[in-house]
């Protein structure tokens, strides 16, 4: 009996599409050797490049046309994003820097240094030589050794808050730097934003303890110092409407008549005028505004308190 020949599907479409889809699923960047290890032939890769679904960077790096520019720049020098750049790509608290942060081996050479901050330190997690992605533990390690403490803490707490890493894991990692170990001991998950984390660093510098996310009179305070000094960190969009502003004014007034003083700071002040923030808090503490109010004087001591009853008008 003659065997019927069943035609196989044309493989050109598979070669044309799959390499680009595979690379796109890995943040849009890959080393050519990694593609070969995944089973793609050199012909399939060259076809994808010829059709424009993949772009060749340097000799051995491939990116998709829609790849993030920061990843492309890292591939252009033969490295991978790390530190503040990797944190931003991961959706963590963003610390803007003029350069992109790239991890490169110490043997790297022949690349354009302009606009690139190179990291060579080995993080706690081993990474394949051609990997395009930095593990979150290594990102935090590089952040700790590179950025100012306030910015570093903001990113670390953002990673915990967004459940990219667990506090228990941070405590157990064998960090390779004192800066990272100190952050692991200091990090928490109560800060709702980067500026709140930065405020905590400023307070630690002057020896002031802050209790975070304390509810008073049905409203949350970003921080409470002592018993009566409240702190609110207002984001740029916090007062985006008159209704929001009225709500906060009403809350502050209710707290004031209950014996609380509320200090409000915005992110610009925390980032650009930290001395003002620290001095304002210290001045408030010096005046005892963080303490519970003293009992009010009785009516027989009004004159001593500086409050005098309004005299009645003389009878006509």
Instruction: Please name each of the domains of the chain with its CATH number.
Output: 22-67 (no CATH), 194-294 (3.40.960.10)
Local confidence band at 6 (pLDDT 50, 70, 90 cut-offs): very low
* Mean pLDDT confidence for 212-237: 84
Closest CA relative to residue 125, chosen from 103, 109, 108 = 103
* Mean pLDDT confidence for 275-286: 94
- Which token pair is 44? 């399939």
Residues forming beta bridges with residue 262, ordered by sequence position: 230
Q: What per-residue confidence (pLDDT) applies to 130? A: 86
CA distances from 221 to 20, 118, 225, 248 (A): 49, 40, 10, 11
Residues in the chain: 316
* Mean pLDDT confidence for 145-164: 89
> What percentage of the chain carries pLDDT values higher than 70?
83
Closest CA relative to residue 141, chosen from 109, 182, 186 = 182
pLDDT at residue 204 is higher than 70: yes
Local confidence band at 3 (pLDDT 50, 70, 90 cut-offs): very low
Q: What per-residue confidence (pLDDT) applies to 298? A: 54
pLDDT at residue 219 is higher than 70: yes
Q: Supply the Cα-derived Rg of the chain in whole angstroms.
A: 29
Closest CA relative to residue 158, chosen from 116, 122, 189 = 189
pLDDT at residue 104 is higher than 80: yes
Classify each residue of 50-88 as buried b or exposed e, where b means 16 or more C-beta atoms within 10 Å of its C-beta: eeebbbebeeebbbbeebbebbbbbbbbbbbbbbbbbbb
Lowest mean pLDDT, pick from 20-29, 103-112, 221-230: 103-112
Q: What value, to the nearest 5°, has the Cα angle with vertex 106 and ends 103 and 107?
A: 120
Task: Annotate 87-128 with DSSP letters as a single string.
Answer: HHHTTS-----SSEEEE--TT--SS--TTEEEE----SS---
Euclidean distance between the first and the last CA atom of the chain, given in angstroms as a whole number: 134
Q: Average per-residue pLDDT in the chain?
A: 83
Beta-carbon contacts of residue 195 (< 8 Å; ≥ 6 apart): 154, 233, 235, 265, 266, 267, 270, 271
pLDDT at residue 309 is higher than 70: no
d(CA 35, CA 32) in angstroms, rounded, equals 5
pLDDT at residue 15 is higher than 50: no
Report which DSSP code applies to 60: T
d(CA 123, CA 134) in angstroms, rounded, equals 9
Residues forming beta bridges with residue 224, ordered by sequence position: 211, 230
Q: What per-residue confidence (pLDDT) applies to 190? A: 57
* Mean pLDDT confidence for 91-98: 90
Would the CA dihedral through 244, 250, 251, 256 be positive or negative? Answer: positive
Q: What per-residue confidence (pLDDT) applies to 307? A: 47
CA distances from 246 to 49, 238, 239, 241, 243 (A): 58, 12, 9, 9, 5
* 119 phi and psi angles, rounded to 5 deg: -115, 130
pLDDT at residue 217 is higher than 60: yes
Local confidence band at 292 (pLDDT 50, 70, 90 cut-offs): confident
């Amino acid at each position: 009996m003659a065997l019927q020949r069943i035609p196989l599907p044309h493989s050109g479409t598979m070669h044309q599409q799959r390499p680009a889809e595979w690379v796109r699923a890995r943040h849009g960047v890959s080393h050519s050797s990694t593609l070969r290890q995944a089973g793609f032939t050199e012909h399939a890769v060259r076809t994808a490049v010829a059709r424009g679904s993949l772009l060749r960077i340097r000799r051995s790096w491939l990116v998709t046309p829609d790849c993030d520019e920061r990843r492309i720049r890292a591939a252009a020098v033969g490295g991978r994003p790390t530190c503040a750049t990797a944190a931003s790509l991961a959706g963590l608290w963003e610390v803007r820097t003029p350069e992109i942060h790239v991890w490169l081996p110490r043997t790297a050479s022949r690349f354009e240094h302009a606009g690139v901050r190179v990291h060579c330190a080995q993080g706690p997690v081993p990474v394949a030589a051609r990997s395009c992605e930095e593990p979150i533990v290594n990102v935090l390690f590089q952040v700790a050794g590179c950025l100012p403490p306030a910015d570093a803490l903001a990113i670390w707490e953002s990673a915990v808050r967004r459940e990219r890493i667990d506090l228990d894991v941070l405590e157990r990692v064998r960090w390779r730097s004192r800066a990272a170990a100190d952050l692991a001991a200091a990090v928490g998950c109560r800060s709702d934003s980067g500026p709140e984390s930065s405020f905590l660093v400023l307070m630690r510098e002057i020896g002031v303890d802050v209790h975070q996310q304390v509810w008073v009179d049905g409203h949350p305070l970003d921080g409470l110092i002592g018993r009566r000094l409240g702190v609110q960190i207002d984001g740029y969009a916090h007062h985006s409407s008159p209704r929001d502003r009225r709500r906060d004014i009403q809350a502050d007034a209710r707290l004031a008549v209950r014996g609380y003083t509320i200090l409000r700071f915005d992110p610009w002040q925390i980032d650009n005028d930290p001395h003002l923030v620290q001095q304002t808090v210290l001045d408030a503490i010096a005046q005892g505004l963080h303490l519970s109010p003293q009992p009010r004087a009785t009516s027989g001591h009004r004159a001593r308190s500086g409050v005098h009853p309004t005299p009645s008008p003389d009878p006509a």
